Amino acid sequence: MSKIPLTAIADQLPRAWNSTVVGRAAGANLKVLRMDDAAYPDESHDFDEALLVLDGCMRLDLQGQVTEVNAGEVFIVPAGVPHAVAPGSHGTLVIIDR
């Protein structure tokens, strides 16, 4: 067991929007990434996905409706729902998924 420095790991990633798995708990992946103000394209999954903003703000685009998820907030995207990230998103994002 050890602490995981999430923001430090995100800061050291070679590219923004390129997540890395930092651990697993209860069968779920715990990933971290750095957002850099650029958009991220539409995607959907066959599982629910939790998006937790550690610092900054993620502008989550759900079928044309943009919702701001701020530091300390989490948004759970249900399985099968297309989602993207709108420009202006920045900071550190934790993704919990399969």
- Residue pLDDT, tens place only, 60-83: 999 999 999 999 999 999 999 999
pLDDT interval class at 9 (50, 70, 90): very high
pLDDT interval class at 34 (50, 70, 90): very high
**Mean confidence (pLDDT) of the chain:** 97
Q: What phi-psi label fits residue 88: left (phi over 0), alpha (psi between -120 and 50 degrees) or beta?
A: left
| Number of domains present in the structure of the chain | 1
CATH classification of the domain holding 88: 2.60.120.10
Residue span of the structural domain in which 12 resides = 6-97
Does residue 1 have a pLDDT over 80?
Answer: no
Phi, psi of 12 (to 5 degrees): -90, -5
Q: Is residue 52 part of a domain?
A: yes
Q: Is residue 1 part of a domain?
A: no
CB atoms under 10 Å from CB of 43, counted, come to 11
pTM listed for this prediction: 0.94
Pairing of strands 74-77, 49-62: antiparallel
Q: Is residue 72 part of a domain?
A: yes
Q: Is residue 92 part of a domain?
A: yes
Average pLDDT estimate for 43-48? 96
Q: Is residue 21 part of a domain?
A: yes
Q: Is residue 75 part of a domain?
A: yes
Q: Is residue 48 part of a domain?
A: yes
> For residues 72 and 58, what is the distance between their CA atoms, to the nearest angstrom?
11
pLDDT of residue 2: 87
